[in-house]
């Protein structure tokens, strides 16, 4: 029996292979198209979800996971482990952390012999995924719950998230820009660059072409990691071919200790739109 099981949400953008390798529990977030609800990760693939999105973006909406979803994941893990760590997306971007904590209190009554800890990754997408992976790798080494929590917290302080949006049209859905301003900027073909900082998403610039945007992403990463070994996730929203090309550039220009491609959760696509490219990375000590 492994000492610690890891649970995270579908926003972490982990691959199926990683989830299976480390036995990570995934809590699905919900999204809606018209009057039908889908559970991210379980009911539909990201590409299928983006095809719905492109049919009618205004009919596409999202909602956080309920405490019941988190409790179900804890329950599945409880019989196979001595402790559980749940890693959530940033509490400044979603109520997921709060829902996970509500479920933690319920778990104390249902299976008090299995302690549950919840940490806020203070980030999103595969950057959150790297936090969960750090915890899972520590757990695989047989470390205690406290040590696994420490591994996740250490990674939280190191991992960096960058994204290049193909359009700014839908950013108003985050509440950070009026709808008319987003639509006007979209008509001007402005492509924003984003990062996460202190749990929030912030703009770090804008470009007029994807080529320039990709160069900016790579320049920022180069300034952060230099020639040191780096762990990298290349992300995309319905743009696999471009993500593979970006992966090839990262592979050729950086000293990669780890490099993988993953799709943005369609829940993220609600505000980012299709065509988004991103990097999550951290420098190896």
**167-172 long-range contacts, CB within 8 A, separation 24+:** 167/191, 167/273, 167/275, 168/192, 168/206, 169/273, 170/57, 170/270, 170/271, 170/272, 170/273, 171/271, 171/272
Best CA proximity match to 107, nearest among 80, 148, 150, 73: 73
Per residue in 93-147, pLDDT (tens digit) is: 899 999 999 999 999 999 999 999 999 999 999 999 999 999 999 999 999 999 9
Predicted pLDDT at 170: 67
CATH number of the domain at 23, please: 3.40.50.10440
Residue 169 is assigned to a structural domain of this protein: yes
Final residue of a structural domain among 130, 156, 182 = 156
Question: What span, in angstroms and rounded, lies between the C-alpha atoms of 64 and 180?
Answer: 26
Residue 57 is assigned to a structural domain of this protein: no
**Low-confidence winner among 46-50, 67-71, 151-155, 166-170 (lowest mean pLDDT):** 166-170
* Higher per-residue confidence, 185 vs 254: 254
Q: Are residues 95 and 119 located together in one domain of the fold?
A: yes
* Higher per-residue confidence, 234 vs 179: 234
Final residue of a structural domain among 107, 129, 156 = 156
Q: What average pLDDT does the structure give for the chain?
A: 91
SS3 for 36?
A: strand
Q: Which domain holds residue 222?
A: 160-283
Has residue 183 got a pLDDT over 80? Answer: no
Task: Please tell me what DSSP assigns to residue 199.
Answer: T
Terminal CA-to-CA distance of the chain, rounded, Å?
A: 30
Q: Are residues 272 and 237 located together in one domain of the fold?
A: yes
What total number of domains does the chain contain? 2
Per residue in 184-203, pLDDT (tens digit) is: 555 557 788 989 988 988 88
Q: What is the pTM of this model?
A: 0.94
Has residue 181 got a pLDDT over 50? Answer: no
Is 30 within 8 Å of 62 (Cβ atoms)?
A: yes
């Amino acid at each position: 029996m492994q000492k610690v099981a890891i649970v995270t949400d579908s926003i972490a953008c982990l691959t199926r292979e990683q989830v299976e390798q480390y036995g990570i529990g995934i809590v699905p977030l919900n999204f809606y198209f018209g009057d039908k609800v889908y559970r991210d990760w379980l009911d539909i693939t990201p590409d299928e979800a983006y095809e719905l999105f492109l049919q009618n973006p205004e009919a596409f909406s999202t909602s956080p996971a309920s405490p019941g979803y988190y409790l179900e994941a804890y329950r599945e893990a409880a019989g196979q482990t001595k402790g559980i760590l749940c890693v959530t997306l940033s509490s400044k971007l979603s109520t997921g952390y709060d829902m996970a904590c509500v479920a933690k209190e319920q778990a104390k009554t249902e299976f008090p012999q299995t302690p549950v800890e919840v940490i806020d990754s203070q980030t999103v997408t595969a950057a959150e995924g790297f936090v969960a992976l750090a915890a899972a790798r520590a757990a695989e080494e047989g470390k205690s719950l406290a040590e696994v929590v420490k591994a996740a917290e250490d990674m939280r302080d190191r991992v960096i998230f960058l994204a290049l949006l193909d359009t700014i049209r839908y950013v108003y859905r985050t509440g950070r820009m009026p709808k008319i301003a987003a639509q006007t900027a979209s008509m001007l073909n402005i492509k924003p660059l984003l990062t996460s900082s202190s749990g929030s998403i912030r703009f770090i610039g804008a470009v007029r072409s994807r080529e320039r945007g990709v160069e900016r992403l790579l320049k920022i990463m180069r300034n952060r990691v230099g020639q040191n070994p780096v762990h990298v996730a290349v992300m995309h929203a319905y743009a696999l071919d471009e993500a593979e090309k970006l992966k090839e550039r990262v592979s050729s220009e950086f000293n990669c200790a780890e490099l993988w491609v993953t799709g943005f959760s369609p829940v993220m696509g609600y505000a980012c739109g299709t065509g988004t490219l991103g990097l999550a990375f951290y420098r190896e000590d």
